[in-house]
């Protein structure tokens, strides 16, 4: 049975912060989120254009409906807007004995005042004394205490001041303090440092406080909950969307999607190995060092985001053997080629290396092939002037031809209309170097696609 949590706050029409961010966070962490809306905002990534507050009676009616039917484990508050709403929320939470995370939302991250000046006093007098945890950023901490927070010393003084109002604990969010959060409870002060993550940041404060509420509702202690909430928020920021003309929304489901993508890549690579082991004639196409299928996660940035068949596929006693399992971060030449290719066209997520004999197979099939030097020219965004093999034969079909896998001839898909996706060849010829035999590296959207392409190449030759 999932825990039930309640968020009381404003609705963000842009979907990045407020109630929307809270519900997405609760869902991603496996809780059932309920909500009471205090105001409707006309809001986007550029700021808050209009605020339409609900009446205190309407806010209470929503909370009453929830507590009449659900056993609420924890609640969190965000944008409360007016003193009257603050008082209604405080009364209802106290009557029902619901533990509270108070996120004192005063201004929107995208710009716009969300809490009336008179409501700040009501917050201090009526809601902070009920709070188990208060989670201000440095500007909200200053608004509540009059202390300009600029370092850990001033953050500590502000946290102690808020606790003197009755709060059991305070977490001063450290986005403006070198990404170090300060956790104060009892006589303890704990610093939670972190590296700065590049990304859009609309909704990060709401996401952190909602995650904190979720972990507390699951029975974790304050410090443990704070650390996990910080990690969750960091991942949401890492996967943030570049949407709109301002600060785009964070992505609360990024980690779940990444885990699902990793599982899919593992399944694709194992399926690729199984297909290739059954391809007649594939033994002749395996390089001396093994044929290593590799596939990357969407938006891969480092070798840790690329998986491969560890050790590759090799010939042993006339049979094709898979030496190892599927592993991320091996950084073979094939895997590194995938990363380089994705910088040119993010849809090219897979590669497979074959023996020199495969070069003639690919040429006969009309694949677009360039050599390693010309591929590196593509990486540097320089035009390819020619593409000549060591034997003097042209490897290019034509300088303006798209790759085979992006045409309807092979994949059944139309060419991508994305103007940002550059054309890539079907294969790269990596010629003899330092006594090491050359190899050809096929490129494509997935490893299983390349496995089927190899089967077709072998079949044509057979």
54 and 185, same domain (yes or no)? yes
Please tell me whether residues 226 and 261 are part of one structural domain: no
DSSP string computed for 154-181? HHHHHHHHHHHTT-SEEEE--TTTTT-E
On whether both 454 and 396 belong to a single domain, the answer is: yes
> Going by C-beta distance under 8 Å and a sequence separation of 6 or more, which residues neighbour residue 442?
351, 352, 353, 354, 362, 426, 427, 450, 453, 454
Burial class (CB in 10 A: 0-12, 13-18, 19+), 202: buried
At residue 382, the pLDDT reads: 54
Per-residue pLDDT, 150: 93
Task: Answer yes or no: do 338 and 245 share one domain.
Answer: no
Run of H or E residues at 319: strand 319-322
Q: Give the residue from 252, 273, 291 where a domain finishes.
A: 252
DSSP summary character for residue 202? B
- The domain boundary residue, chosen from 201, 232, 252: 252
pLDDT tens, the chain, 462 aa long: 899 999 999 999 999 999 999 999 999 999 999 999 999 999 999 888 999 999 999 999 999 999 999 999 999 999 998 999 999 999 999 999 999 999 998 875 555 566 778 888 899 999 999 999 999 999 999 999 999 999 999 999 999 999 999 999 999 998 878 889 999 999 999 999 988 887 667 889 999 999 999 999 999 999 999 999 999 999 999 888 888 888 889 999 988 999 999 999 999 999 999 999 999 889 999 998 899 999 999 989 899 999 999 999 999 888 899 989 999 998 888 999 999 999 999 999 999 999 999 999 999 899 999 988 888 887 776 554 444 333 333 444 433 445 555 443 333 333 333 334 457 899 999 876 444 678 999 999 999 999 999 999 887 554
In this structure, the answer to whether residues 155 and 261 fall within a common structural domain is no
Sign of CA dihedral 363, 367, 373, 374: positive
- Nearest-angstrom CA–CA distance, 316 and 111: 65
Q: Can you give the pTM of this predicted structure?
A: 0.78
Domain identity same for 232 and 332: no
- Domain count for the chain: 2
Residues 201 and 278 in one domain: no
What's residue 373's pLDDT? 86
- One domain, residues 126 and 265: no
Residue 179 shares a structural domain with residue 313: no
**Do 240 and 262 belong together in one domain?**
no
What domain range is 336 assigned to? Answer: 257-461
Q: Which two tokens stand for residue 39?
A: 């105001």
What CATH number corresponds to the domain at position 109?
3.40.1190.20
Residues 352 and 413 in one domain: yes
Domain boundary residue, one of 252, 280, 310: 252
CATH of the domain at 450: 3.40.225.10
Same domain, 344 and 200: no
Query: What is the maximum span of the chain, computed from C-alpha positions, in angstroms?
Result: 86
pLDDT of residue 73: 98
Helix, coil or strand: residue 25 = helix
């Amino acid at each position: 049975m999932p825990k039930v949590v309640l968020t009381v706050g404003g609705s963000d029409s842009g979907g990045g912060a407020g109630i929307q961010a809270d519900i997405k966070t609760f869902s991603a962490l496996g809780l059932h989120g309920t909500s009471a809306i205090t105001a409707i905002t006309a809001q986007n990534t550029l700021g808050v254009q209009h605020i339409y507050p609900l009446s205190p009676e309407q806010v209470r009616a929503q909370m009453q409906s929830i507590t009449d039917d659900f056993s609420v484990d924890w609640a969190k508050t965000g944008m409360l807007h007016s003193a009257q709403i603050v008082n209604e929320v405080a009364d209802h939470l106290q009557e029902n004995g619901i533990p509270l995370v108070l996120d004192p939302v005063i201004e929107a991250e995208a710009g716009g005042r969300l809490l009336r000046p008179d409501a700040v006093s009501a917050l201090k007098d009526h809601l902070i004394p009920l709070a188990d945890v208060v989670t201000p950023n440095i500007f909200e901490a200053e608004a509540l205490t009059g202390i300009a927070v600029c370092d850990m010393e001033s953050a500590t003084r502000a946290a102690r001041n808020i606790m003197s109002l009755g709060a059991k604990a305070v977490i001063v969010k450290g986005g403006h303090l070198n990404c170090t959060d300060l956790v104060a409870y009892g006589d303890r002060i704990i610093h939670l440092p972190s590296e700065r993550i590049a990304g859009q940041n609309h909704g990060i404060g709401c996401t952190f406080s909602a995650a904190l509420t979720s972990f507390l509702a699951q029975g974790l202690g304050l410090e443990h909950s704070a650390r996990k909430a910080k990690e969750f928020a960091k991942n949401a920021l890492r996967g943030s969307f570049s949407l709109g003309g301002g600060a785009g929304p964070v992505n609360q489901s990024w980690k779940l999607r990444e885990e699902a993508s990793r599982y899919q890549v593992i399944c694709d690579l194992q399926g690729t190995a199984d297909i290739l082991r059954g391809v007649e004639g594939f033994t002749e196409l395996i390089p001396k060092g093994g044929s290593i299928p590799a596939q990357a996660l969407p938006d891969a940035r480092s070798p840790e985001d690329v998986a491969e068949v560890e050790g590759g596929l090799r010939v042993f006693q006339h049979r094709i053997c898979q030496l190892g399992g599927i592993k991320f971060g091996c950084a073979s030449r094939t895997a590194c080629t995938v990363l380089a290719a994705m910088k040119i066209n993010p849809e090219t997520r897979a590669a497979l290396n074959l023996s020199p004999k495969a070069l003639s197979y690919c040429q006969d099939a009309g694949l677009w092939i360039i050599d390693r030097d010309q591929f590196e020219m593509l990486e540097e965004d320089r035009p390819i002037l020619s593409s000549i093999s060591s034997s003097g034969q042209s490897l290019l079909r034509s300088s303006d031809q798209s790759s085979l896998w992006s045409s309807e001839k092979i994949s059944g898909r139309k060419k991508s209309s994305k103007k940002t996706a550059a054309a890539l060849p079907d294969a790269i010829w990596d010629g003899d170097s330092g006594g090491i035999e050359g190899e050809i590296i096929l490129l494509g959207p997935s490893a299983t696609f390349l496995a089927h392409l190899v089967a077709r190449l072998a079949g044509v030759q057979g």
